[in-house]
């Protein structure tokens, strides 16, 4: 669009029955200032979901699949263990549908996440950070069994990857119809995104290379050490390769059963680890140079996309998944060094006109 033309919109041409009908159809956006010359980088920006993350997709499908099967009864309490985004998505869905929700979450995750869930009507039960992700998962299981609550099972349920197969993958196929798609980059929290994408892309775009990433200091998949599981496939213990890392929402201290399908079926072509500080750096660059405010997980996947771009052949198209918004990380290292008060430079700008008054 020429700069002389005013932007126009025409509406979506429909009325939505509820906020849940606005989930999905997130935009694929070209990177203009950070991409190297000759290579096209795009991001699928999941912050455009109403709950501002990719987890809205699995949240609504977990609840609606359980409603269809009868596993979730009217008015029954829902319980789930989450680092935040799934809990926020579930809180939104449960608020709209009228289900009480209890979230278990390690107290190491950002404060704004628990406040958002409570704002949406959920109860948040904190577990000790020393018990890691497996501790909050175990607490959710205990609460479900003791109270007869519905456990959402985001790490194991078929509803997780199914929704990415039927929505996320289909959106990508439509966005790149008639275009080459050389690489798709994703991290994993539950593994639903990469598993759902893998099911579709392996069949319909076999030339597309799927790149999976995980924290450099917590390489669970990269370790080659199999996850210890119960007879039902649930994680039975914390994975020995896990270490605490700053990429919230990525890589709990076990390999989720949903991700195991992608591992077993070979849905990804390469596993590339990324250091957390590198993810923070690229999230900041995306904000400052592209106007795209994503979290540490988005910065981490973008870091891998930039690595690929440096070696990709001219004309390559690289798609990077950005799971959520940077506003979910205000109390994390992502915003360290971002001041609340005016800097010296800002004070000087203020002083440059007669209206300056401070102190």
Catalytic site positions: 55, 297
The count of C-alpha atoms lying within 13 angstroms of the C-alpha of 217, restricted to the half-sphere facing its C-beta, is 10
Cα 80 from chain centre: 17
Q: How far apart are CA 52 and CA 70, in angstroms?
A: 29
339 Cβ neighbours under 8 A, 6+ residues apart: none
Q: What angle do CA 168, 172, 175 make, to 5 degrees?
A: 135
For the range 334-337, what are the long-range contacts, defined as Cβ-Cβ under 8 Å and sequence gap of 24 or more? 334/280, 334/283, 334/284, 334/295, 334/296, 334/299
What's the full length of the chain, in residues?
Answer: 359
The encoded tokens of residue 69 equal 């099967």
Q: What are phi and psi of 345, to 5 degrees?
A: -65, -40
Pick from 122, 58, 61, 125: nearest CA to 94: 122
Pick from 334, 321, 285, 326: nearest CA to 187: 321
- Cβ contact 188:272 at 8 Å: no
Pick from 283, 334, 289: nearest CA to 47: 283
Cα 106 from chain centre: 18
CB atoms within 10 A of CB 83: 22
310 Cβ neighbours under 8 A, 6+ residues apart: 36
The encoded tokens of residue 128 equal 């000790």
Tracing tokens 């991001």 back to the chain, one arrives at 43
Radius of gyration, alpha carbons of the chain: 21
- Cβ contact 109:87 at 8 Å: no
């Amino acid at each position: 669009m020429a700069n002389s033309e005013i932007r126009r919109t025409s509406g979506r041409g429909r009325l939505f029955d509820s906020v849940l009908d606005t989930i999905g159809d997130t935009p694929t956006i070209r990177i203009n200032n950070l991409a190297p010359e000759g290579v096209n980088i795009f991001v699928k920006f999941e912050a455009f979901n109403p709950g501002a993350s990719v987890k809205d997709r699995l949240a609504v499908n977990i609840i609606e699949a359980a409603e269809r099967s009868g596993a979730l009864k009217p008015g029954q309490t829902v319980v789930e263990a989450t680092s935040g985004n799934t809990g926020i998505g579930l809180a939104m869905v449960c608020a709209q549908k009228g289900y009480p929700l209890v979230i278990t979450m390690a107290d190491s995750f950002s404060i704004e996440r628990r406040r958002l869930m409570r704002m949406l009507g959920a109860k948040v039960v904190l577990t000790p950070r020393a018990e890691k992700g497996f501790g909050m998962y175990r607490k959710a299981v205990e609460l479900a069994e003791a109270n007869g609550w519905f456990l959402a099972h985001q790490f194991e349920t078929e509803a997780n990857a199914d929704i990415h197969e039927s929505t996320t993958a289909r959106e990508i196929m439509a966005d790149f119809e008639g275009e080459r798609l050389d690489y798709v980059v994703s991290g994993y929290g539950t593994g639903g995104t990469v598993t759902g994408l893998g099911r579709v892309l392996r069949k319909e775009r076999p030339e597309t290379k799927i790149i999976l990433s995980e924290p450099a200091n917590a390489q669970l998949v990269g370790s080659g050490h199999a996850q210890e599981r119960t007879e039902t496939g649930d994680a039975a213990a914390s994975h020995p390769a896990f270490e605490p890392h700053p990429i919230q929402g990525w890589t709990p201290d076990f390999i989720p059963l949903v991700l195991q399908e992608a591992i077993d079926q070979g849905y990804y072509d390469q596993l590339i680890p990324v250091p957390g500080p590198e993810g923070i750096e690229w999230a900041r660059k995306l904000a400052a140079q592209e106007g795209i405010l994503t979290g540490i997980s988005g910065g981490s996947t973008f870091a891998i996309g930039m690595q690929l771009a440096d070696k990709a052949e001219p004309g390559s198209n690289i798609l990077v998944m950005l799971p959520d918004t940077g506003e979910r990380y205000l109390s994390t290292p992502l915003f360290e060094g971002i001041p609340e008060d005016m800097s010296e430079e800002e004070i000087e700008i203020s002083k440059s006109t007669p209206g300056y008054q401070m102190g």
